Each structure stands twice: as C-alpha cells, then as structure tokens.
Structure 1
Amino acid sequence: MASRNDSPPTIEEADGEVVTADEVDWAVETDVLVGGGGGTGLVAGLAAAENEALTVTILEKSGSFGGNTSLSTGMIPAAGTKLQQAAGIEEAPEDMARDILEKNGYAADEERVHHLCRESAPLIHWLVDDWGIDLHLVNDFKYPKHSEFRMHAPPGRNGDNLVSQLVDRAEATENVELLTDAPLRKLVTDDDAVVGAVTGKRHTEAVAARAVVLATDGFAGNRRMVANHCEEIADALYFGSDGNTGDGIRWGAQLGGELSCMDAYQAHATVAHQTGSLSTYAVVMNGGILVNEAGRRFGDETKGYSAFAVDVLEQPEGLGYELFDADIFDRLEGEFDDFDEAAALGAYASADDVATLAEELGCDPAEATAAVERYNQAVEADEPDEVGRTDGRSTLEAPFYGAKITGALFHTQGGLSVDEHARVVRTDGSVVENLYAGGGAAAGISGHGPGGYLSGNGLTTALGYGRLAGEHVAETL
C-alpha cells in the first residue's frame, strides 16, 4: 500500500504552477506532451502516434509506468463489442449508460456518460484489432449493479498485465518516446493557450509542445486535498499510486478550468488487513458475505465495493470479516492475480466450521455461525436475506474460508470538466487551447461521494478520454 504524500499543495495554494512562455527558456520540443504514463497517458500517446507526422513524448512521474491502472483489475467495461456478440450477448451503449447513471442517481454529466459509453466498443476494438492488446470477456460473474457481462479483461484480470502490453506497443512505435522519473512541474502558457511544460526531477527543463495531455491522475495521494474534498475517507488506508497528488487538477484550475464532483472517490471494502493485499470483490459477488467483530452482517454487500467501504470503516476498529467457502476459493484461484497474491501472502484462513474460522479471524463465533445459517436459509428460500441482499448469492458450505478486511481509498473521481474530445473546459464554457485531460485528472462519471462509483468507471474515463484526446490531437495538429 502506498504512503500518502503530505507536502503537495492544495488548489488554493497552487500559485506559481502555471508560468508564461517569457519566463522559460525552451530546452527541447515535441508535438504532443503527455504527462503521466498510466492507462490514460499510454492510450493517449498511442492514439496520437497514429499520425506518423507527430512526435509524442510520454513523461512518467515515478520510476515505472502504470499508475492506478496497474493497481486495478484492468477490466474495461464496454457495450456492443464483438467479444460480447461472440458470446451471444447483445447490449447497447444506452444499457451501459443507464447502469452508470442509476448507480450515481443521475448526478454525473449525462452527456459525457453517454458519449463514453458510445465510444466504449470502438475503444475495445481499437485496442484488440489495431494494437493487438490481449483482452477477454469476463462472463463468469458480474460486479454489483452491472446488468450484463461487459467487462473486458487482460490476462490474470490484472491491470499490470494491461499496462505492460500498452508499454510494449508504445516502445515499439517509432514516433513515441517514453521517459520515467520525469514529472511535470509546471504548465507553460502563451496568451491563455498551453504551449508546453516544465519537467524534471532534480534538474528542470522547459519542453515546448503543440498539445499537452494531463494524464496525471487524481489527488488521492495528497492528504490535504483529500481532507478538503473527501473528508469522510481522509483517514483511511490509501491503496493507490504515490504520484496521485492532484497536479493536473491544480494546473487546470489555475487556467480557469471548471472543477466537478470533487467529493467523488472510489474506495474498496475488502483490503486484507494483515497483508495489505486486495481481496477481489469477486469473492462477494460469487456468494461471500461480511460480518463485523460481533459476528453480525451490517449491510447489503452488493451495494458496491466503493460504497460498502464506508460501512466497513464504520465498524469497530474499521474492520470487517469476509466469510466464504471452498467452492468460491476454487472458482477464483488462478482467475484473479489479486486473489492468488492475497492467498500466497496468507490473507485467508480456513476451517471446517464457521465457529472455528471466526475464532481464528477474531469475530464472534456463535453470531458468525448464525449469520451464515440465516444467509443460507434465505438463499435456499430464494428470498431477500436479513440485509436485503438478493444478488450474487450461493449457499456457503464447509470447508469455509475467511479474511480480516478493512476499507481503503483507491482513487478520487472528481476533477477538470472536459468536452467530447477531452479538452479542458473553463468555467465560462470555453476550452483551454491545446490542453486535454483524462482519467483522474478529469471529472469522472460517478457523481458524488463513494456510492456513485460503478465498477469500471475509472478505466472508462482513463482509457476512454485517453483515446479521445489522442485521436483529436492526431486529427487537428
């Protein structure tokens, strides 16, 4: 788990992070400068590079590429893809948009949601057909509130495997340059248009560019920005990239960029407490349940792993206890790298009965046993259980497995408003010339707070806006 950096400024303290061209001496130039080497930046770079007349430079702040995309499952939601059709699934973009908007109570920008959903199948086809990215349709389980199988995953259902493929393609593309340990420091403007950036870790230099893409992610790694905008999760464990310090959001705001849904974030309800590893929510969606220290259920787990994280953190010591069985264990083993890693680290205990398992984990044995019995009875009767859950259920039978878990902050979902081409939009409705944003630097599609997050929303805006930005740059420069 990453540490959260206390030193980066807040939006209100960000004076001097945008400078004018007459304040710098240009050291080098490129056509397209991409700040950030996660999913957004890599996809934006590949899309822009399809115009072979352009030079594309991708600068990553840390020592390796990936950002939050590498920490995710790498599952990309899309509606109307050839992979779905091959599996006999007919789904329209409107169906995906409806699920997203219903989850956030129609609090997100509906036009942007529909646009990204319409672009989701072309995104998958472009990745698979044009760039040879290995993706498969996940059709063995659905995340909460997904009405159809629409997740397209890399091998191991691991974002690091997706990133490695994108990096390989970028490295093999002649007009793309990739650099690590090269953070953007400041944006450079001329007459309100962005014309480059100052970059460098120990020694800085000014890079002139005809377009700049902010792929710097959100602000979950900036403790004070989190406290200012997402106070309820500010003290939780942080399970994200150290580079997520809100840089691009601050710079865009200084240029008059509109900020939207800054209180939105994605949390996760099942991070293994002892090992700090992620227990994939597929455990829950295949039938697992959560109890608290008293051995009692405390809510419908299928409200979503982001929203339910707050429920976990409200329990004594901020802990929950995940209970499932060998059938679920066997189903997930070898399918999710996250699950296999958690198992290898010793996150899961097992026992022949719930009471023994609960005692080992540290929750009340008698109450936990009763909770499992009531859950099984509800499943067998095909009735809502004691917390109202009806989805993703199966009776739990010996031998049993479990883990002590806690909630954690993964990434923020608020940021700069962008248009249909991922260009940064000012509060007056104009665009900041030559400036694009995607992923965590852009306003997401999850509405407000943690409850509007639908699984896959993060990569929808990361890869979706990345491709839209790169395409627009390739067509207009």
Structure 2
Amino acid sequence: MANIKFDGGSINFDFSVSLVIIGGGACGLVAGLAALSEGIEAVVLERDETPRGSTFMSSGFVPAAGTRFQKAANVIDSAALMSADILAKNHDEADPAIVATLAEASGRVIEWLADDHQIPFELVEGFLYPGHSQMRMHCTPRRTGEELMSCLLNAAQKAELPILTEARVTTLHVDEDRRVHGISFERPDGSIEQIGCDVLILACNGYGGNPELIARHIPQMQQALYFGHEGNQGEAILWGEALNASLKDLGGYQAHGSLAWPHQTLISWAVMMQGGVQLNKNGQRFSNEHSGYSEQAAKVLVQPEQIAFNVFDTRIHEQCLQFEDYRNAQEAGAIKVFDSLDTLANELGLPTEAVLNTFREMQELQEHGETDRFGRGFTAEQALQAPYHVIRVTGALFHTQGGLEITSNGRVLDNQGHALPNLFAAGGAARGVSGSNDSGYLSGNGLLSAVVMGALAGRKAARSVAWHKA
C-alpha cells in the first residue's frame, strides 16, 4: 500500500539520515554511490530479501556515447548523435532537455562506474540494435542484468553504502508544503519502522506488476505475460498522484517480441538484426523484424496462439552464444535444429508450401535489392542457410516507461510545473525517454534512465542536502 500522511512536521522518527533512496535496483544503487561521492550519507531501502529489481531480469545493456570503450573499438559517436537516435525512435515525444542531458552524461557515468567502482564494462560489438546508428551498448562480460546487479552490489558493499533489505516502504510523511520528512516501512513480521530524511529519491521502478494500473494506462497489454519484477507495483505513481505531481507518458512501455516459450528465457534481438526472421503458425512472416523488439511484442501477440517462431542459422547461432541467456535457452532445449525447410515445417506443424514461399520471397527480394511490404530489405551477407535453428517465442511486457515528470537532474515536478521541495525520481519511477507507447522504446532506454539518471539524481539530491544544511 502506498500512503501519504501529512504529518511530517510533527512525527518523531526512529532515526534520520540525510538521503533516503527507495529501491535497490540499478537506479537506487547508482544513486546511492553518486551521493556518497558527494560526501552525503544515504541509505537504500529494498523490499526484497536480495536487491534485484528489473535490472536483474534485463540483458544489462547500458547505452552511452563517447566512451573510451567505443574509442578503443574505433566507434565514432557523440551525445548529439545519441540524442538524435532517441528522439527519432520516440517521434520527438520525450523531453528533449532530458534526452540531451542523459546522452551527454552517459559516457561520463559509464567511465565513473568503471574507474571508481570497478564495474567491468565492455562494448557490445558486431551488430546494431534497432534505431541505434552506432555501437554504444555497454555491458559486463556475461551480458546479463544479473551480473550487472552483482557488480553494483559489490560496489555498494565496498563503498559501505547501507542497504536495508526486506523493508517495504508503505508511507511518505510530508508537511503541508509537500516536503518529505521521512518514510515508514514494513518488515516481514508486520512491524513498522520509520526513518526521517532531508531528501528522498524514488528509484522503485514502474507499475508493470500492478494489473489495475496496467488496465488503466496500457489496456492493450492486460492479457500479456508480464516478464518483469513483481515488486513493480507503481508506488511512485500512487504517491505522485497524492502529491499532485505531474505524470507523463503513462502509456509508454517496453515489451519484447522474443521470449522463449514455454521456457521464459529472453532471446536477444541480435538474432533478428543479424538476419533472422519470425514466422507465425501459418508459416508466414508478419512484420519488419528490424523495426524494434518492443513494438514486436504486440505483433506477436496477435498471431495464432500468440506464438511466433524465430528462424535463423548456424552463423547467427554461433554469434549469439556470447549471450548467457541464449546459452541458457540452448541448455533448456528451447533451440531446435532442422536440416531443411521441409523438415522444419513438418516437425513444427507449419504449412510446408507457405514456409517455402516465404523463403523464396526473401531470396527474390535479396536478388533484386528490394524491400518487402513491411519495409525490410535482405542482403546476401545475411541470407539464411541450412541447417535452420528455431526457437518458439511469445511477446511479453517487461516494464513501463511513463512516470513522474522530472527535471533534467531528477527533481519531481507538480502539475503546475514547479519542483516539489525535496523529492527526486529516476529510473522506472520517472518519465522515461520512450514517449507515449511501445514504439518509442529504443534499446537500452530503461537502463539509460536507471543508471545515468540515477547518477544525476543522486548527485543533485546530495548537493540539495548540503545546501539544506548550510
């Protein structure tokens, strides 16, 4: 339950700290590390026994421009180019000031985490994700969100950042000026504890796990599988409503059109970007697979039985073995291999002639240098060859992208455009940079908002504390 109590000026808290951060995912941990770098004490409150959040379930890719990792790979990138890519994907619906700020700060934040906190970032090379004009995805060696979270937790431990786990925040205590004076949180045994604070950061992600809010804001995904963290219940949205905060782009979300089914393992969209295709149960392609994996989820979900088949070849298979999630899918038996299209169709129960026609069409498009009716072209370099690899997949909702409207340093704004006195938000709790629907999501936008805005909000909140105490 997300409550607001207007008693902040009178309550006696159990203890107080300068900065409280609600949420122990990547956003909250980075915000805490950033605050510590400014010399301000902070504490992170996490509802789970072990901090994981949505980051744990992601691929762990953080986009950033102008890093030394890019320069080492001879990748020429800039904040301006990155901003242009983000705005092009969201059709200029996002706040351009925040987009520019995130792009400008992204390289510095990645290098700060690598240098000061030993996060072993490396550049993902070999292919571009939809909408990105340069290779700018940064990840840890295993290329999983689980590993990124482990690295951040190790960094937090070394920095002596206090993290209170199994602490579900239920109430914000505010005064009549909407200044937050502290919070109440519940322990697993039902006991209630209270912490006072000078400044509060909401890093508690979105509302993907709240069916009521999904029905209200994203009704088209009501029946979709939710493949996000169950703790994403939308507390930030509910607290914001009670404080008359401005809420933006609540219809924005990130989905994925390639979740192995029934194994429920994320299959990298690199499969599509390197030449793979998706067939429905009629043996036909139904979209431009290069448009983006977020909007592809809705396209998969309207296919027969809400199922599609990722079809690719050994070349792509070998390239995707660098992804741990893909290796996990292989170990789970999700990947089937067929020596011919006839065998593929027969074994999967697809109409053989339809499958053959689909591949004939792709070959003809390649030979004539033409695009298909969906706008996708085919090149000889990416032509699929037997044996064929197939993964049965479905579409799923991963996390929401709308939330509290913020300034470019994370200050929460009210409905009149004024900053609330001491409330910050970042990551999934805040309005992201993906616009108002699923098509505006550019690969990595979620962790861009979590990691980079987390760092910016953490530093600004720390400086706000210092100013408040001066």
- Whether the TM-score (by the shorter chain) exceeds 0.5 is yes
1:447 to 424, 427, 435: 435
User: d(CA) in 1 for partners of 2:367 and 2:109?
Assistant: 41
Counterpart code for 1:115: T
User: d(CA) in 2 for partners of 1:138 and 1:103?
Assistant: 20
Normalised TM-score (structure 2): 0.95
Counterpart code for 2:320: L
Counterpart code for 1:371: T
Q: In the TM superposition, what are the counterparts of 1:395-410 in structure 2 within 5 Å?
A: 395-410=383-398
Counterpart code for 1:66: R
Counterpart code for 1:195: H
User: d(CA) in 1 for partners of 2:64 and 2:394?
Assistant: 30
CA offsets 1:177-205 (integer angstroms, 9 cap, x no match): 11211111111112321111111232111
Q: In the TM superposition, what are the counterparts of 1:78-477 in structure 2 within 5 Å?
A: 78-174=64-160, 176-190=161-175, 191-201=177-187, 202-333=190-321, 335-390=322-377, 394-477=382-465
Q: In the TM superposition, what are the counterparts of 1:4-15 in structure 2 within 5 Å?
A: none
User: d(CA) in 1 for partners of 2:182 and 2:378?
Assistant: 50
8 A Cα contact 1:36 1:61, kept in partner:
yes
SS in 1 for 2:363: helix
SS in 2 for 1:64: coil
8 A Cα contact 1:18 1:251, kept in partner:
no
5+ residue gaps, structure 2, are 466-470
TM-aligned CA deviation for residue 386 of structure 1: 4.8
TM-aligned CA deviation for residue 391 of structure 1: 7.2
Counterpart code for 2:142: G
Percent identity over the alignment is 38
SS in 1 for 2:298: helix
Cα separation, partners in 2 of 1:400 and 1:67, compared to 1, 3 Å: same
5+ residue gaps, structure 1, are 1-7, 9-13
SS in 2 for 1:218: coil
CA offsets 1:125-144 (integer angstroms, 9 cap, x no match): 11112211101111211111
TM-aligned CA deviation for residue 364 of structure 1: 2.4
User: d(CA) in 2 for partners of 1:70 and 1:361?
Assistant: 33
CA offsets 1:373-395 (integer angstroms, 9 cap, x no match): 32234234433245321378711
Counterpart code for 1:376: Q
**Mean alpha-carbon deviation: is it higher for 81-90 or for 394-403?**
81-90
SS in 1 for 2:237: helix
8 A Cα contact 1:297 1:387, kept in partner:
no
**Equivalent in the alignment of 1:11:** none
TM-aligned CA deviation for residue 332 of structure 1: 1.0
Q: How many residues align?
A: 461
User: d(CA) in 2 for partners of 1:254 and 1:60?
Assistant: 22
CA offsets 1:281-304 (integer angstroms, 9 cap, x no match): 111111110011100110101110
8 A Cα contact 2:280 2:307, kept in partner:
yes
8 A Cα contact 1:375 1:386, kept in partner:
no
User: d(CA) in 2 for partners of 1:390 and 1:123?
Assistant: 36
RMSD of aligned Cα (Å): 1.6
TM-aligned CA deviation for residue 453 of structure 1: 0.4
Counterpart code for 2:29: L
User: d(CA) in 2 for partners of 1:381 and 1:210?
Assistant: 65
